[in-house]
Structure formats: C-alpha cells, structure tokens
Amino acid sequence: MKQRPHHTDLVQLVANLSKGDEAALAELYELYFDRLYAFATAFFGTSLDAKDVVQETFIKVWERRARLKATGSIEPFLLAIVKNTAIDLTRKKLRESLNRDSLKMDSSYRHESSGEEIVIVKELENKIERAIDQLPPKTKTVFSLKKKEGMSNSEIATKLNLSKKTVENHINIALSRLRQLLPGE
C-alpha cells in the first residue's frame, strides 16, 4: 500500500476528485484499496466478494464525487461505503439463495419424478440436513428460523434477543459453511 499523504495533500486530492479529476480517483484507489480490501475480507470472512465490494465502493465514490467535502477525512467515508455495500451484497445473495432454494423445492414437487429422481432428491435433502447439523448451535438456530420458518432477520433478532447484524452474521456464516460442506451441490 502506498504511504498515505499528509492531511493537506489529502484535502487537495479530495478537492480534485470532487471536481471530476479521474487521476485523483486513481490515486485514491491506489492509496486505499489494500485497507478497504482487508476490511471487506474481514467482513465476509473470505476474499471471495471483497474485491467486488471495493470496486463497487470506488464506483460509488465517483458517482458521489460532487458531494465530497475536502476535509481530509475520507477514510471513514470509504469504510462506511464498503460496509454498506457488503451488507447490500450479502442481502442480495441471501435473497437469491432463498429464491433458488424455493424454486428447486417447488419444481421438485410439481413435476412427476421418476424413482431415481426421488432418490437423488432425498439424498440431497439428507446431505443438506447433515450439513446444517454441523453448524454451530446458534448459527443453526438462526439459519433454521430463516430457511425453514421463513422468518425475517428482524423477527429472528427479536425472538432470539439478538441484533439484526448478529442475525445477518449467523446467516452469512451458515451459507459460507454450507457451501464448503456441500461443494458442487
């Protein structure tokens, strides 16, 4: 990571960026990419989506450049965008996962299945159940309430006396662990 500039240099960099200077965006990217990438990786627990989140962050910075204030304190602003983008991506993936699971379940019951297909579906359901059983107890509970009971994160948080962020973290942990335990399923 490039050494951070002095406060006055950073103020000028942000001022240039707010005026539409693409070179200032490139320099900001070079200055903060590693820090933001590490932050996003820590959020996800993996680097899988971290790079996308950081790139999306700089797109948002460019889109909001006219509203930037040249105060020299750009890092908290960047970290907030990374955090919010990561949360949005996590929610999107969870919705997609829930929709995919719902479609798979609906289609498997709607169509007439051969005996072999029924056996395959049962085997897959058993694998999924065994994988869910391997989750930590609290994560398993949160995941089951979300997937099996169809509860919202707010409802789960209230029921288990947890914060919504903690519920989201448990769901992310569950999905990540299930992907590891069920590769290619």
The CA-based diameter of the chain, rounded to the nearest angstrom, is 72
* Domain extent at residue 174: 112-181
In a domain, 103, yes or no: no
The count of domains in the chain is 2
Q: What pLDDT was estimated at residue 110?
A: 46
Q: How many CA atoms lie within 13 A of 13 on its CB side?
A: 21
pLDDT in tens, 92-139: 777 777 666 555 554 444 444 556 656 666 677 777 788 888 888 998
CATH classification at residue 43: 1.10.1740.10
Q: What pLDDT was estimated at residue 115?
A: 60
The model's pTM: 0.50
Judgement on whether residues 58 and 128 belong to the same structural domain of the protein: no
What is the rounded average pLDDT of the residues 139-154?
Answer: 86
Q: What pLDDT was estimated at residue 30?
A: 93
| Whole-number percent of the chain with pLDDT over 70 | 76
Tell the residue number behind the tokens 């999306």, with chain if given.
56
Given a cut of 70, whether residue 1 has pLDDT beyond it is: no
Q: What pLDDT was estimated at residue 28?
A: 92
What is the rounded average pLDDT of the residues 159-163?
Answer: 92
